[in-house]
Structures are given as C-alpha cells and as structure tokens.
Amino acid sequence: MPSEFSLTRQVEFHETDMAGIMHFTNFFRWMEVCETAFYRSLGLPLISFVPGQVVGWPRVNVSCAYRAPLRFNDTVEVKLFVKKLNTRSVTYVFQFRKDGALCATGEVTAVCVKPDAQGGMAAQPIPAEARAQLQEAPESAYS
C-alpha cells in the first residue's frame, strides 16, 4: 500500500514569467499532475464516469509555500505523500526539490464525491478499492 510517489519534470518556458521563474500557479498544476500519475500507478481512476458510480475528488483546501525559485529548464522532483486518509477525504503533502534542495511544499485536501439527486455533489466514503491501496505516510517522511 503506497504512501508516497514521485515524478520528475522540467520547467518549460511557457510555465515561467518574464524573469524565467516558474509562475506560482504552476506549482498547483504540478501537484495535480503528480496526483494523477500516482493514481495511474495504482491502476485507479482519478475520476470515474461509470453510470451510477461517478466519483470525483474536488479540492476543499490547497496551499503552497515557496522557498526558492524554480527556473526555465530546471529539473525538479515532485514528491507526493499521503498525509491523512479520512473516511471521505484524503490530504496530500507535496515537495518540490531541485538537486535535492527543497524549493516549495504544498498541501491538497480532496473530498470523494458522487452526484446527488439535485445534480450537485455529495461527499461519499472513499471506495474500498481506492482505500485498500492508500496508506498514510509517516510524518517523518515529509516533515
């Protein structure tokens, strides 16, 4: 049962500002890219569109703290840790590292939902097949 995942990306020109520094919004995009790759590695759909079994993961809280800039062409390791696994939500911690140095940390909390009778969303328990493959990382892994 995995509690962490990592991928490596290179900062692209279109992700930077006029000074060649990665724009702050792209850290959030990279967190979602890492989360999606994590679910793919587990063979789980991040979003299921099976009629009667639609499952989604809207974000209810996101944050990112920046320590050092990432620049055009930098190679960056993005690491995901499962911080908290609740009945209906999961919280991830992300680390962005360049040459081993911590450049930013992020956190995302997502709630598992299904459609409700009015066409909105209702929180639901995380499906058993997903819960069986997720495990909380020890705090020492990401602190």
Q: How many CA atoms lie within 13 A of 121 on its CB side?
A: 15
Output the pLDDT for position 129. 87
Taking residues 109-137, report their average pLDDT: 91
* C-beta neighbour count of 116 within 10 angstroms: 11
pLDDT in tens, 80-97: 999 999 999 999 999 999
Q: Which residues contact 50 (CB under 8 A, 6 or more apart)?
A: none
State the pLDDT at residue 2: 87
Residue pair 16/23 in contact (Cβ under 8 Å)? The answer is yes
Query: Could you give all domains of the chain from N- to C-terminal order, each with its CATH number?
Result: 4-142 (3.10.129.10)
Joined tokens for residue 24: 């702050």
Distance, in Å, from the CA atom of 6 to the CA atom of 79, rounded to the nearest integer, reads 4
- Looking at this protein, which amino acid is placed at residue 104? A
Percentage with pLDDT > 70 across the chain: 95
Mean pLDDT in the chain? Answer: 94
List of E strands, the chain: 4-10, 59-66, 75-85, 89-98, 101-111, 113-115, 121-123
User: So what's the pLDDT on residue 50?
Assistant: 66
Query: pLDDT band for position 10 (50/70/90)?
Result: very high
* Residue 53 clears pLDDT 70, i.e. is over it: no
Residue 98 and residue 68 in contact, taking contact as beta carbons nearer than 8 Å = yes
pLDDT at 115 over 80: yes
